[in-house]
């Protein structure tokens, strides 16, 4: 019980355990989570709904892979994307805050990055928002470790950030 089902074969055990702890603590505190994902393409949302008995701590996920989706679904200003680039601190923060404002969640985490191509493969910006707190940001340089490994590393960072925001 309380084990992930769908992604288990490819996930490090430490990520599964960290996710289980995050969800259990969110449930204990009556907090709800949301995510806004670009380079992870919905994998974080899937992970947060895969833990049997604890997935009710998750409200929704926004998969905003394109700039248009970030603008339309999360309210990220087009001018911000044009000025800073979709993979930036500013856009990650706007994504997290947009997800928080467009959901029933208390905590929202956003991920935007270059999984295996782009200006710097492995560059990922993450942001975590909670009402009444300053939105947290992390910039990770995972390097050329590949698309799958970058996505898993980004999910690990996101779970850690959401746990810290509890």
Residue 125 lies in a domain: yes
Question: What's residue 3's pLDDT?
Answer: 55
Q: What is the CATH number of the domain that holds 68?
A: 3.90.950.20
Residue 24 lies in a domain: yes
Give the tens place of pLDDT for each residue, 25-40: 999 999 999 999 999 9
Residue 148 lies in a domain: yes
Give the tens place of pLDDT for each residue, 75-132: 999 999 999 999 999 999 999 999 999 999 999 999 999 988 888 999 999 999 999 9
Per the listing, tokens 């019980």 go with: 1
Q: Domain total for the chain? A: 1
pTM of structure: 0.94
Question: Strand 123-130 and strand 136-141: pairing?
Answer: antiparallel
Q: Which domain holds residue 16?
A: 8-165
Residue 3 lies in a domain: no
Question: What Rg value do the Cα atoms of the chain yield, rounded?
Answer: 15
Residue 105 lies in a domain: yes
């Amino acid at each position: 019980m309380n084990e992930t089902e769908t992604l288990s074969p490819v996930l490090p055990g430490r990520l599964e355990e960290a996710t289980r702890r995050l969800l259990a603590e969110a449930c204990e505190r009556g907090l709800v989570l949301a995510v806004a994902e670009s380079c992870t393409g919905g994998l974080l949302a899937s992970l947060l709904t895969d833990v049997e008995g604890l997935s009710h701590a998750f409200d929704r996920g926004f998969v905003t892979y394109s700039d248009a989706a970030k603008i339309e679904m999360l309210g990220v200003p087009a001018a911000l994307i044009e000025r800073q680039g979709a993979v930036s601190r500013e856009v990650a923060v706007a994504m997290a805050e947009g997800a928080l404002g467009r959901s029933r969640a208390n905590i929202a985490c956003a991920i935007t990055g270059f999984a295996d191509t782009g200006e710097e493969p492995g560059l990922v910006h993450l942001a975590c928002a909670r009402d009444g707190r300053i939105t947290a940001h992390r910039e990770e340089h995972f390097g050329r470790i590949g698309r799958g490994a970058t996505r898993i590393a980004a999910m690990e960072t996101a779970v850690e950030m959401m746990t810290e925001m509890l």
